[in-house]
Structure 1
Amino acid sequence: MPGYAAVAASDALRRGQVVGVGSLAILSAELADDTSLAGLEADTRASLIITAQRAAALKLANQIAAAAADPEPVWVERPAWLDLAASRAVADPVLDLATPMKGPFRTRPIADPASARAAIALAKHAGLIPSVYAVPLSATQPVITASAAEALALPAAAARLHISSRARLPLALAPDTEVVAFRAADGGPEHLALVIGDPPRDHPVLARLHSACLTGDILGSLKCDCGPQLHAALKALSANALGGILLYLQQEGRGIGLLNKLRAYALQDQGFDTVDANTRLGFAPDERDFSLAATMLKALGVSAVELLTNNPDKVVGLQAHGLATSRRPHSLPANPHNAHYLATKRDRQGHQL
């Protein structure tokens, strides 16, 4: 499978192991313990690689540079006082209020930026906080290795999908439904298409891109509007004379994963809004890649959609991948728990609410 070494490295990183990527040996800052960090540091003291967004939150990087389309990671040197606990607080923003006095830090230019970007890409692919300990890769280190190019190609591998299975799936809100399951080439999570009715493919298909939200869709969280949006979309597609398609995408937390989304919730409890919570974690405000949705729709024979959404980025994202896309509004009333969240999406992310 293309990119197998990068997938194996991502899996090993997720299990708390040292892996090699490009010219670096790395260890997840989130999962490191004294033993694994000592193993990484057998020959030299490890530094921390953090994203430009996280560095900006710590006032270690230029804010404008951090907001660039593809900002470079930042290399933070670890003096003797910056032990495991203190350096983990550099990586994990949920600890910011508990450990407010950080620094002074020394940063330096990264000798191999491609390897540093690849290290961050592996951490993101593994669903971890995007920060790693790093040392130059030694030939004597017994680690799984991947090239920087392989690691940086993981998002493209995630968007290479094929239909794995399909079956009838009557739903309470849409009894005439077929589920189509897609498997990704990167070995990542499966994604589903719910084909409701028999939408014709010779004109725009009514569609909804829905990012999985365990807390909202399953548990009924009031912090977001995901569950109500999902249910309203299923009702709208079922009521539509020509049916439609709902893509259920495993892109929890706008692409940062369930555990990181819960960390973002903890930051929101500290007073940060949904955008600042993501960037303090080291992510972009929205990490989703809409090539995945475009690939699924094309595999279903769809070339044009009328998209149920309030997010213009979804429209632009599908258009960028060759799908003719228009928008049908899809908004629901706020509640006392998500009013600020929805206002932030409107005011800072351009959602048309």
Structure 2
Amino acid sequence: MTQSFAATAQNDSNSIPATDLVTVSRAVADLRRGEIVLVQGHLDGAVHSVAVIAAEPLSQAGFERLCDITHTTESPAIILPRVRARSLGGACEQDSFVAFVSKRQSEIDAARLGEIANPLLDLDQLPAGDWRAVSMAETAAIRLAKLARLLPAVVTVPVGADQLENLARAQNLLVLQSESINGYEDASAASLREVSQARVPLEDAENATVIAFRPEDGGQEHLAIVIDEPAKDQPVLIRLHSECFTGDLIGSLRCDCGPQLRGAISEIAKSGQGGIILYLRQEGRGIGLVNKLRAYALQDRGFDTLDANEELGFDADERVYRPAAEMLRQLGFGSVRLLTNNPEKLKGLEGWGVKVAERVPHKFPSNGHNAFYLQTKKDRAGHLF
């Protein structure tokens, strides 16, 4: 099965070469360290390239290097989410992100850019400057920051087409195409392969096996928890569960993730037919643990769970479901009974060719701390409670 799946993934029209997967993965690590990467975007035959550094880990040394190595007279731009730009007085249309360029570079340093990028800070005023639309390359750079689970804000300087290769070589910088960045998640999911498995008896399901799947670039593993021996010739009872450190591990009462995980294990074990929990590494609806904690801080100021994510510059839900579909295929299951209240999970699986034969309701009572959270999921995200 693994060989045939690999051949399918290799021929998938949405996949990108393994070398690009590795390059994007390396760029993610560079961005998290406050290093510079080069991004090239293509639109209607035009090419636009930028040197990029993430706003969150930005140091003064990194900012000065960004300005020095590009040898440009143009001021750096900081790319911000529309909601953050509006809170700072920016005139924005409907674009998701917008660029701010200071009129006097002497008024901008790393600390100031970090304050501008941080949606948890209220600023009295900005330096004098202009707002403009973002390029294809800058949009891809924001996508890269999201993949790095950083705040979606980057500082960019334009790089001429004749300068790009020399700059990359002289400064030992990675060059990424916008297409590679935007296609990374699909391609990474297509490359998943089983790397390990072991029997792991659970409190409510003693006959359980945990199977780990890893993408070719060595990224985060997703897990399949197989309980008993579900038949492959009929719809298998499954739960797609997004990783939740706070709910799953330390028993947070702000969400219902812990009860949903343990409840799914118990229900599958009691069914007598076995089933699977796919444990997906998509903390905070895909924004990562650190950003989820930032979202919690915003919720404490009155934002609901969806608005808090969007205030940070993320979509209300950034999760993808191709990893789940690929794991099911490798395990030999094409039809499922899905334990969920979220209709988007049904669409997500069916969009990647998995037949959802039945939605099995999976709800738990509120605890006094998560009532507003659950009501928001019902009223705004369409969860079927």
TM-score by length of 2: 0.84
Distance 1:132 1:54 in 2: 13
Percent identical residues:
45
Do the aligned residues in 2 keep the contact of 1:7 with 1:186 (CA within 8 Å)?
A: yes
**Which residue number in structure 2 is paired with residue 295 of structure 1?**
326
Structure 1, 206-215 or 15-24: larger mean CA deviation: 15-24
**Cα–Cα, structure 1 residues 247 and 59, in superposed 2: closer, same or farther, change >3 Å?**
farther
TM-score by length of 1: 0.92
**Which residue number in structure 1 is paired with residue 32 of structure 2?**
14
Number of aligned residue pairs: give it. Answer: 343
Do the aligned residues in 2 keep the contact of 1:157 with 1:186 (CA within 8 Å)?
A: no
Distance 1:21 1:213 in 2: 32
**Which residue number in structure 1 is paired with residue 115 of structure 2?**
89
Summarize the alignment of residues 134-149 of structure 1 with structure 2, pairs less than 5 Å apart: 134-137=156-159, 138=163, 139-140=166-167, 142=171, 143-149=173-179
**Which residue number in structure 2 is paired with residue 328 of structure 1?**
360
Cα RMSD after superposing both structures: 1.9
**Residue of structure 2 aligned with 1:109, choices 122, 125, 133:** 133
DSSP-derived class of the 2:185 partner: helix
**Which residue number in structure 1 is paired with residue 3 of structure 2?**
none
Q: State the Cα distance separating 1:85 from its structure 2 match.
A: 3.2
Distance 2:125 2:188 in 1: 39
Instruction: State the one-letter code of the partner of 1:40.
Output: L
The answer to whether 1:343 aligns with 2:375 is yes
**Which residue number in structure 1 is paired with residue 155 of structure 2?**
133
DSSP-derived class of the 1:246 partner: strand
Summarize the alignment of residues 192-203 of structure 1 with structure 2, pairs less than 5 Å apart: 192-203=223-234
Return structure 1 stretches of 4+ with deviation > 6 angstroms. none
**Which residue number in structure 1 is paired with residue 267 of structure 2?**
236
DSSP-derived class of the 1:2 partner: helix
**Cα–Cα, structure 1 residues 336 and 24, in superposed 2: closer, same or farther, change >3 Å?**
same
**Cα–Cα, structure 1 residues 104 and 334, in superposed 2: closer, same or farther, change >3 Å?**
farther
**Which residue number in structure 2 is paired with residue 257 of structure 1?**
288
Distance 2:211 2:331 in 1: 9
Distance 1:257 1:320 in 2: 24
1:265-300 Cα shifts (integer Å, max 9, x gaps): 111112111111101111000000111111111111
DSSP-derived class of the 2:202 partner: coil
**Which residue number in structure 2 is paired with residue 27 of structure 1?**
53
Q: State the Cα distance separating 1:103 from its structure 2 match.
A: 6.8
**Cα–Cα, structure 1 residues 54 and 202, in superposed 2: closer, same or farther, change >3 Å?**
farther
DSSP-derived class of the 2:314 partner: coil
The answer to whether 1:79 aligns with 2:103 is yes
Q: State the Cα distance separating 1:117 from its structure 2 match.
A: 2.0
Distance 2:346 2:127 in 1: 43
1:187-212 Cα shifts (integer Å, max 9, x gaps): 32101000101111111111000001
Distance 2:126 2:379 in 1: 31
Instruction: State the one-letter code of the partner of 1:140.
Output: L
Distance 1:350 1:56 in 2: 28
Summarize the alignment of residues 154-169 of structure 1 with structure 2, pairs less than 5 Å apart: 154-160=184-190, 161-169=192-200
Note the residue ranges of structure 2 that are not aligned, 5 or more in a row.
1-17, 41-48
Note the residue ranges of structure 1 that are not aligned, 5 or more in a row.
none
Distance 1:46 1:103 in 2: 13
Distance 1:315 1:89 in 2: 40
**Which residue number in structure 2 is paired with residue 212 of structure 1?**
243
Q: State the Cα distance separating 1:114 from its structure 2 match.
A: 2.4
Summarize the alignment of residues 311-322 of structure 1 with structure 2, pairs less than 5 Å apart: 311-322=342-353
Do the aligned residues in 1 keep the contact of 2:91 with 2:131 (CA within 8 Å)?
A: no
Instruction: State the one-letter code of the partner of 2:313.
Output: G
**Which residue number in structure 1 is paired with residue 76 of structure 2?**
46
Distance 1:56 1:193 in 2: 42
DSSP-derived class of the 1:288 partner: coil
Summarize the alignment of residues 268-283 of structure 1 with structure 2, pairs less than 5 Å apart: 268-283=299-314
1:13-62 Cα shifts (integer Å, max 9, x gaps): 11111111111111110000111111111234311112345445656465
Do the aligned residues in 2 keep the contact of 1:53 with 1:284 (CA within 8 Å)?
A: no
Distance 2:230 2:379 in 1: 35
DSSP-derived class of the 2:380 partner: helix
Structure 1, 53-62 or 134-143: larger mean CA deviation: 53-62
1:248-276 Cα shifts (integer Å, max 9, x gaps): 11000000011111111111112111111
Distance 1:102 1:269 in 2: 26
Distance 2:90 2:376 in 1: 26
Q: State the Cα distance separating 1:78 from its structure 2 match.
A: 2.5
Distance 1:350 1:62 in 2: 29
Q: Which has the larger radius of gyration?
A: 2
Distance 1:186 1:156 in 2: 13
Q: State the Cα distance separating 1:167 from its structure 2 match.
A: 1.5
Distance 1:49 1:134 in 2: 8
**Residue of structure 1 aligned with 2:277, choices 236, 243, 246:** 246
Distance 1:74 1:342 in 2: 32
Distance 2:208 2:254 in 1: 29
Do the aligned residues in 1 keep the contact of 2:59 with 2:110 (CA within 8 Å)?
A: yes
